[in-house]
């Protein structure tokens, strides 16, 4: 029985100890169904998607001596050329592939890194697992919760190591911050606040007309399982007049491909809260917001607030605003735990613990390691040991699902309750946002 089919309730039970007892050895033993083919136990890896994150992941993998990058794949010719050039700078020759399916089918490749637009994450991850490959997949894990269930199911069914790109978990100061919360350093936490704020230009990302895709881009393949739509600079991300050929993640502002700031930054910010509380799921979610400031052609809100109720006895808040500098003393983005004995704030630069007792001095600790490098090293270590990585697919399923639930509440205009046994929303009217029908010929099957 797979983790998210039939045994769905078991796979994501709140009590991790009970989960391990019922799931059995199939989920916990160090199984390896293949043999690493790289010289000196190096993992042969293919990088799928050479945009901004893909280029970064390629560079990280190239400098890690445990990985041997052998292939790069992208449907945009200039990006593919960039991947070859990045590898060449490190005296590495890679195979350039336009169709990702060729990388997944290559039996000489041990693992793949998926750094594509979000709507491709689930399909590529599942297919890679079916092909016996371990997977490093960027966040957010999926755009629809039903797809995420299949990602977890595939990882367990085919005994694959699947590391999500929520790399903050590999930051030493993030780990220490989470430990302090767990240890009760700020007392009982009943409120956690997360936010991503700033003042954007009124015109936002602009209003560009639909047109013909640039030379070297297979737009139909870029869309893949998403609905057929005309090419638009914002749907893709590249504005030719800006002189940049690396897409900005503007595709995340369109429901067909992503979930706006909720699933972009919300995944990072809420993930640290989940990390500290051992990965719970909210029991209910309520959202409000809209597109009230910018005048561009995005579909997702520019102003949004989400309230979460967790069964462990606390509430969480996510805020994303495009027209304010933030109501808190820390601008930009962050995660704030508020307890009965103090507060703990953490972002990518530092954490700061502020006791309520004024006779005690605040404690501030700066970031001390490269989170991305450490995250890839953890991926390699778990490929070798066959243990679950620090951002295991099931953990990121919970964080991503919590973010998607925020969008479901917003789009359905109702408070939604989460059924942790059936892994779905309770409200019938909101269920239509749980999944999506893939455009033919694409089909997600485990």
309-362: per-residue pLDDT in tens? 999 899 999 999 999 987 667 778 899 999 999 999 999 999 999 999 999 999
* Secondary structure element (H or E) that encloses residue 408, with its range: helix 393-412
pLDDT at 9 over 60: no
Does pLDDT of 21 surpass 90?
Answer: no
pLDDT given for residue 283 in this prediction = 98
Question: Does 288 or 4 have the greater pLDDT score?
Answer: 288
CA distance 283 to 192: 15
Q: 17 pLDDT band (50/70/90 cuts)? A: very low
Residue 90 buriedness (CB in 10 A; 0-12 / 13-18 / 19+)? exposed
- Give the residue-averaged pLDDT of 372-376: 98
- Residue 205 in this model has a pLDDT that exceeds 60: yes
Strand ranges inside 115-254, DSSP E: 134-137, 162-164, 189-199
Q: With bands split at pLDDT 50, 70 and 90, how would you rate the model's confidence at 238? A: low
**What is the DSSP-derived secondary structure letter of residue 211?**
B
Q: How high is the pLDDT of residue 92?
A: 98
Per-residue model confidence as pLDDT tens digits over 180-196: 999 999 999 999 999 99
Tokens 């969480």 correspond to 316
Q: Is 303 strand, coil or helix? A: strand
pLDDT at 167 over 90: yes
Mean pLDDT of 11-25: 33
What CA–CA distance (Å, rounded) separates 238 from 426?
39
Read off the pLDDT of residues 258-302 as tens digits, 9 standing for 90 and up. Answer: 999 999 999 999 999 999 999 999 999 999 999 999 999 999 999
* Alpha-carbon distances of 403 from 4, 168, 297, 337, 409, rounded to whole Å: 19, 17, 22, 18, 10
Which has the higher per-residue pLDDT, 282 or 5?
282
pLDDT, tens digit, 9 for 90 and up, residues 210-235: 999 989 999 999 999 999 999 999 99
Note whether 254 and 226 are within 8 A (CB): no
Decide: 400 and 121 in contact? Cβ < 8 Å: no
Kindly indicate the confidence band of residue 28, based on its pLDDT and cuts at 50, 70 and 90.
very low
| Residues in Cβ contact with 321 at an 8 Å cutoff, skipping those fewer than 6 apart | 195, 196, 197, 198, 302, 303, 304
Would you say residue 178 has pLDDT above 80? Answer: yes
Closest C-alpha among 212, 193, 225, 162 to residue 379 = 162
The yes-or-no verdict on residue 35 having pLDDT over 50 is no
In the structure, what pLDDT confidence band is assigned to residue 237 with cuts at 50, 70 and 90?
A: confident
d(CA 167, CA 60): 13
Would you state the pLDDT for residue 7? 37
The pLDDT confidence band at residue 243, using thresholds 50, 70 and 90, is: low
CA distance 149 to 217: 31
Each residue's pLDDT tens digit, 116-164: 999 999 999 999 999 999 999 999 999 999 999 999 999 999 999 999 9
The predicted structure's pLDDT at residue 83: 97
C-alpha angle 411-412-413 in degrees, rounded to nearest 5: 90
Segment 126-137, tens digit of pLDDT: 999 999 999 999
Report the phi/psi class of residue 206: left, alpha or beta, with left for phi > 0 and alpha for psi in -120 to 50: left
What is the pLDDT at residue 248?
A: 78
5 has a pLDDT exceeding 90:
no
Chain segment 406-430, per-residue pLDDT in tens: 999 999 999 999 999 999 999 999 9
């Amino acid at each position: 029985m797979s983790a998210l089919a039939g045994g769905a309730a078991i796979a994501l039970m709140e009590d991790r100890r009970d989960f391990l007892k019922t799931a059995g050895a199939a989920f916990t033993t160090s199984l390896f169904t293949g043999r690493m083919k790289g010289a000196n136990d190096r993992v042969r890896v293919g990088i799928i998607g050479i945009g901004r994150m893909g280029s970064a992941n390629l560079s990280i993998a190239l400098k890690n001596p445990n990985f041997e990058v052998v292939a790069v794949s992208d449907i945009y010719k200039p990006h593919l050329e960039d991947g070859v050039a990045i590898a060449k700078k490190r005296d590495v020759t890679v195979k350039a592939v336009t169709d990702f399916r060729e990388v997944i089918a290559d039996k000489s490749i041990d693992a793949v890194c998926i750094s594509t637009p979000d709507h491709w994450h689930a399909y590529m991850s599942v297919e890679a697992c079916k092909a016996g490959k371990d997977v490093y997949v960027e966040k957010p894990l999926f755009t629809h919760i039903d797809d995420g269930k299949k990602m977890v199911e595939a990882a367990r069914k085919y005994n694959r190591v699947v590391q999500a790109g929520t790399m903050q978990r590999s930051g030493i100061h993030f780990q220490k911050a989470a430990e302090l919360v767990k240890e009760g350093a700020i007392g009982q936490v009943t409120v956690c606040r997360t936010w991503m704020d700033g003042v954007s230009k009124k015109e936002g990302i602009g209003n560009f007309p639909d047109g013909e895709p640039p030379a070297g881009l297979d737009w139909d393949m870029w869309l893949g399982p998403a609905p057929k739509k005309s090419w638009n600079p914002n749907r893709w991300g590249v504005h030719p007049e800006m002189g940049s050929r690396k897409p900005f993640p503007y595709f995340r502002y369109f429901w067909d491909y992503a979930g706006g700031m909720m699933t972009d930054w919300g995944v990072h910010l809420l993930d640290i809260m989940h990390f500290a509380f051992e990965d719970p799921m909210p029991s209910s979610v309520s959202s409000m917001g809209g597109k009230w400031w910018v005048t561009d052609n995005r579909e997702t809100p520019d102003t949004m607030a989400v309230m979460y109720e967790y069964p462990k006895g606390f509430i969480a808040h996510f805020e994303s605003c495009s027209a304010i500098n933030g109501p808190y003393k820390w601008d930009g983005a962050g995660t704030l735990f508020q307890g009965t004995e103090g507060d703990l704030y953490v972002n990518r630069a530092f954490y700061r613990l502020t006791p309520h007792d004024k006779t005690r001095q605040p404690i501030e600790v700066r970031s001390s390691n490269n989170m991305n490098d450490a995250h890839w090293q953890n991926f390699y270590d778990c490929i070798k040991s066959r243990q679950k990585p620090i951002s295991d697919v099931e953990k990121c399923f919970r964080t991503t699902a919590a973010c998607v639930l925020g969008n479901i509440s917003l789009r359905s205009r109702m408070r939604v309750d989460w059924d942790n046994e059936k892994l779905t929303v309770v409200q019938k009217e909101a269920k239509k946002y749980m999944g999506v029908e893939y455009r033919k010929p694409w089909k997600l099957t485990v």
